[in-house]
Amino acid sequence: MTDAALPHAAVASTAPARRDFGLKRRHAAERRFRLYGVAAIVIGLGFLAVLLVSIVGKGYTAFVQTSITVPVEFSAEIIDKDNERATNPRVLVSANYPVIARNAVAKALGVATDDKAAMRDIAKFVSDGSRSTLREIVVNDPSVIGTTRNVTLLAAADIDSANKGQIDLTVPESKRKVSDRQVAWLDQLKQQGAVSTPFNWGLITFGASSRPETAGLGVALVGSLYMMAIVLLCALPIGVAASIYLEEFAKKNRFTDFIEVNINNLAAVPSIVFGLLGLAVFINFFGLPRSAPIVGGLVLTLMTLPTIIIATRAALRSVPPSIRSAALGIGASRMQMVFDHVLPLAMPGILTGTIIGLARALGETAPLLLIGMVAFVADRPTTPLDPATALPVQIYMWANEAERAFVERTSGAIMVLLLFLALMNLAAILLRRRFERRW
Amino acid sequence: MSLESAATIAAPVSRPNAPPKMQGEKVGVFYGEKQALFDVDLKIEQFNVTSLIGPSGCGKSTFLRSLNRMNDTIDGCRVVGKITLDHDDIYDPAIDVVELRARVGMVFQKPNPFPKSIYENVAYGPKIHGIARNKADLDEIVHSSLRRAGLWNEVKDRLQEPGTGLSGGQQQRLCIARAIATKPEVLLMDEPCSALDPIATAVIEELIDELRENFTIVIVTHSMQQAARVSQKTAFFHLGKLIEEGKTEDIFTNPKNKQTQDYITGRIG
């Protein structure tokens, strides 16, 4: 050891031993902390996995729907027995289509149409939704009357469940929703090749219905879409304008401090309070219609504004002051400085904040319940003033339904909602990448 | 007056009897309650380089920033006294600060190009001030500004590349090109070489000497050698007061004030 020759050797030889001891402890602490971190992530991912497995496991079957393709005889006897469709087109709309559907299935199964008990079971075998399927065919083309053609009819919800294996057939017949006879018919039709399980477009096109097989997210999707558009159109310009004013133009004084504190508080206000506010202001005071996406959109705008303002201000603050000096130094006005230099640099942050705010608004339920968007709406809204529901509200409503087939639809709707949220987050990441500038 | 005239007149190296381009009379600057600058009287002569020297916190940057009212951007900052540009009081309410800054350009301590292309960096000033009448005009201004800033040969093939991708010294010359593209009459430089290596510093110093032909330059520097090399006039600040000003050679060889002498010989600062 060369140090031994130096006058300070005594000090040098004791010091490293003490430092080593400290180092060991610090390394141990660091390893422990890393372990905690990994444990936290594993727990988080575990919960996420449980959630996704449970939802997808229950919900994936909602995306297919059991259908029966049988030759349907469009009997003039049943549809228009007085032959008055030329003078009174309403007969085609009000005709007894369920009977036609039942007769067609009975014929395919070889059941006599005068067997009343069997016909009752058949009535529960085909969905009542086949009424609208057949009506549409006839109204669009009255020449089918009197002919026979193959039509794909929806199976009833219980038959759909049985076909998907969701009904335990070992349970005594009296205690289950599907009779032995119906199970036998299902097998018989399967052998004939008449049963198919195509993708369930109805899930994303149909409106509200008390029958699960004809219930869909169509109204909720349109309602949510309108509301997102309204939130984007209102909250983004107002939020960005407020942030720019507060951050770049306003003098820092008590008044702006007061506003800042209030915006932060507003972000923490429970969403149901915004719902009450919307009910009082937009519906009771301004007289906007109940259950309308315009009111929902405005309420969600109020809710999203603080989020967007806070995100935008943070993004503006992260733009280096040297850029502002540079712009002002060559004689740019404050507005030119903001719009030519500061805003483009803050854009990724603003967009990310906005999309995160939108995603939160998309998943918001409580305020919509208060403004009446929890309603039975069967027809898709054409304008934001028509009654509609929203995706999370539809989930809430289906979760309250008793039928077995609504369970899978609830999970299916959650999957649709999660898909939209994931897409929005993906868009946030892509936009961020696209607008980010390298220094 | 026209923005172009000052930039296009070829000037003699020194015109001792010409009226001052800018003049400060009893200039004081307050940051809130605290006074940072006291009663500064200083004449900035046209087509000369005036350097402001002094230890850190002596008020030289504060004085420089009051010359184009960049101090206005600081909350709670207040300027008293009178500063004139060609006999116009620049703190007169009738003076538009945007026009003032177009006439009195500024180069900052840290190179701060916009995160845009090299071309856009230089073209921005002329665009917002409407100096260029058309695209060809703008091209010409960008090219001549880059040429004058001594950057043309290095960037002529990559004008569309981001200005932030250049080296520190190149970025600072880009900032100088950007400042002179608006054809200012006075160019303020706040320690333009403090973030640069000696070679880049030498290039910029040479550039300052060339720019003196067309622009009146005020430079704040921490390097006394730099002040001696580039400036014709030097002003020494200490604790917010102007201690001594005069011809650079006089200040450095024969300072009248004891504090100045102490500073330039390295005893204070």
pLDDT of residue B11: 41
Tokens 């900035």 -> residue? B44
Residue B193 has a CB neighbour count (10 Å cut-off) of: 25
Per-residue pLDDT, A95: 86
How many domains does chain B fold into?
A: 1
The percent of residues above 90 in pLDDT, for chain B, comes to 71
Mean pLDDT score across all residues of chain A: 89
**Across the 439 residues of chain A, what is the mean pLDDT of every consecutive 10-residue run?**
48 54 86 97 97 93 92 87 81 87 90 87 88 89 88 91 87 86 91 90 89 91 95 95 93 90 92 94 93 94 94 94 93 93 92 92 93 89 92 94 88 94 90 74
pLDDT digits (tens, 9 = 90+) for B189-216: 999 998 888 888 998 999 999 999 999 9
| Identity of the residue in A330, A341, A438 whose CB atom sits nearest the CB atom of B105 | A330
Q: Please, what is the average pLDDT of chain B?
A: 88
**Distances in Å between the alpha carbon of B22 and those of A88, A339, A341, B84, B217?**
95, 32, 30, 5, 11
Burial A277-311 (b: 16+ CB within 10 A, else e): bbbeebbeeeebbebbbbbbbbbbbbbbbbbbbbb
Using a CB-CB cut-off of 8 Å, the residues of chain A touching B110 are 322
Mutate to test the interface with A, among B124, B145, B171, B218 (most CBs of A within 10 A): B124
Which residues in chain A have their CB less than 8 angstroms from residue B100's CB?
331
pLDDT digits (tens, 9 = 90+) for B176-189: 999 999 999 999 99
Angle at A355 between CA A349 and CA A361, to 5 degrees: 140
Q: What are the C-alpha distances in Å from B48 to residues B13, B57, B168, B249?
A: 7, 25, 26, 14
Cβ contacts (< 8 Å) between B73 and chain A: which residues? 324-325, 328
Give me the pLDDT at residue A142, please: 86
Which of A330, A334, A347, A439 should we substitute to test contact with B (largest number of B Cβ atoms within 10 Å)? A330
Cβ contacts of A336 on chain B, cutoff 8 Å = 128
Beta-carbon separation of B182 and A331 below 8 A: yes
pLDDT for A33-86, tens place per residue? 999 999 999 999 999 999 999 999 989 999 999 999 999 998 888 888 888 888
Provide the domain limits for residue B73: 3-264
pLDDT surpassing 60 at residue B80: yes
Please report, for residues A306, A341, A437, B73, B92, the alpha-carbon distance to residue A251 in angstroms, rounded to integers and kept in the order given. 20, 20, 29, 10, 21
Whether the per-residue pLDDT at B9 is higher than 60: the answer is no
Cβ pair A123, A102 in contact under 8 A: yes
ipTM of the complex: 0.87
- Residue with structure tokens 């049963």? A195
Q: Which residues of A touch B (CB under 8 A)?
A: 251-252, 320, 322-333, 336, 340-341, 345, 437-439
Digit-coded pLDDT (tens) for A334-380: 999 999 999 999 999 999 999 999 999 999 999 999 999 988 998 88
E strand residue ranges, chain B? 20-31, 34-45, 49-53, 77-85, 88-89, 104-107, 186-190, 216-220, 233-238, 241-247
Residue B31: helix, strand or coil by DSSP? strand
Asked if residue B16 has pLDDT above 60, the reply is no
Would you state the pLDDT for residue A1?
A: 43
Residue B269 maps to a domain = no
Structure confidence by residue, pLDDT tens digits, B99-119:
999 999 999 999 999 999 999
CB–CB of A336 and B175 under 8 A? no
What's the Cα-to-Cα distance from A154 to each of A123, A127, A132, rounded to whole Å? Answer: 12, 5, 11
CATH architecture for segment(s) A218-435: Orthogonal Bundle (1.10)
pTM of this prediction exceeds 0.95: no
| Mean pLDDT score, B4-31 | 67
Supply the CATH number for residue B251's domain.
Answer: 3.40.50.300
Closest residue on chain B to A253 (Cα) = B75
What confidence tens digit (pLDDT) does each residue in A117-145 have?
889 888 889 988 888 889 989 888 888 88
